[in-house]
Amino acid sequence: MRPEKKDIDELSGIETTGHSWDGIKELNTPSPRWWLIIFIVSCVWAVGYWFYYPAWPTLTGNGERGGTEGTAGWTQYKQLEEQQAEIVARKAAYQSRFDASDFSTIQNDEELYAFAIAGGKSAFKDNCATCHGTGGAGGPGYPNLNDDDWIWGGTIEDIQQTLQYGIRGNHDETRFNEMPAYADILDAEDIEAVADYVVAKAAGNALPERGAVVFEENCAACHGEDAKGLRELGGPNLADAIWLYADDRNAIVSQIRKPKHGIMPAWEGRLSPSTIRQLTIYVHSLGGGEK
């Protein structure tokens, strides 16, 4: 039903649509003009936008990674590449300085040092944290890189060597030494005796005689006469407060009987030489780095 003349609502003074539901009428309040104009302008704008920018997926995909190309030739991929190139270029300035400098120069240059620590830290989290923990604190069987106890040496060159070639790894230059299983070599009593000796040694107590003899004959070759370890052979220091596997007597006995050995993979070839150098400086900075 169309009303012949405008039906004005008494209360609001606004025209109604003329529709009536159970006596309730609807006011005719069209969208405001300004709103409509913006809407139309947006529609027109959108059409231009579709041509100017990549907008539509296509079946053949002649644009970059599928879709229309846009007359502006702009894509997010291109933008990303440009931005990345910018970052790489910015980084390159430090990178070339870093590559041309030796360790001691880097360690004395605030900028290069910060560059190395930042790079080393993220490489560490990506590659090393799995075994050594995100903070480098290790765990049973995985050396703590924060402390001052090093099995194969803690100078910057030692750390670089370990990182590069690994320990008991598959690189030709890897350092490789394993503790034999003494369950096959010594009798049970000797093993108990030498375990007592090691515990006493670490605690600084009086040393049992029989254990001393057994140690001297079997262990000193790798762990040193004084049990303080031999780094050339990767024999850990047994006379200090740090234990790689466990510090109670039972664990020591079982390590003597059937030793466990960790493997450190060689990172040469897997990480760039520069990353390995950054990692070296980072690990050295954790607190135990030796001069």
Q: Which residues face 20 on adjacent strands?
A: 25
Q: How far is the CB of 136 from another protein (least distance, A)?
A: 8
Candidates 179, 188, 182, 227; CA nearest to 204 is 227
Give the nearer residue to another protein in terms of CB position, either 139 or 180. 139
- For another protein, the binding residues (CB under 8 A) are 10-14, 107-110, 112-114, 133-137, 144, 146-149, 237, 240-242, 285, 287-288
Q: How far is the CB of 135 from another protein (least distance, A)?
A: 3
Q: How far is the CB of 74 from another protein (least distance, A)?
A: 19
Contact assessment for residue 44 and residue 51, using Cβ atoms and an 8 Å cutoff:
no
Give the nearer residue to another protein in terms of CB position, either 133 or 262. 133
CA separation for the pair 182, 190 (Å, rounded)? 10
Other CB atoms within a 10 A radius of the CB of residue 255 amount to 19
Other CB atoms within a 10 A radius of the CB of residue 69 amount to 17
Give the nearer residue to another protein in terms of CB position, either 53 or 103. 103
Q: How far is the CB of 13 from another protein (least distance, A)?
A: 6
Give the nearer residue to another protein in terms of CB position, either 94 or 113. 113
For the record, the structure tokens of 175 come out as 């350092």
What 3-state DSSP class applies to 271?
Answer: strand
Q: Which residues face 16 on adjacent strands?
A: 27
Q: What is the DSSP letter of 264?
A: B
Residue 198 CB partners (closer than 8 Å, separation 6+): 211, 215, 227, 238, 252
Q: How far is the CB of 284 from another protein (least distance, A)?
A: 10
CA separation for the pair 67, 71 (Å, rounded)? 13
Q: How far is the CB of 204 from another protein (least distance, A)?
A: 9
Give the nearer residue to another protein in terms of CB position, either 125 or 260. 125
Give the nearer residue to another protein in terms of CB position, either 217 or 247. 247
What 3-state DSSP class applies to 219?
Answer: coil
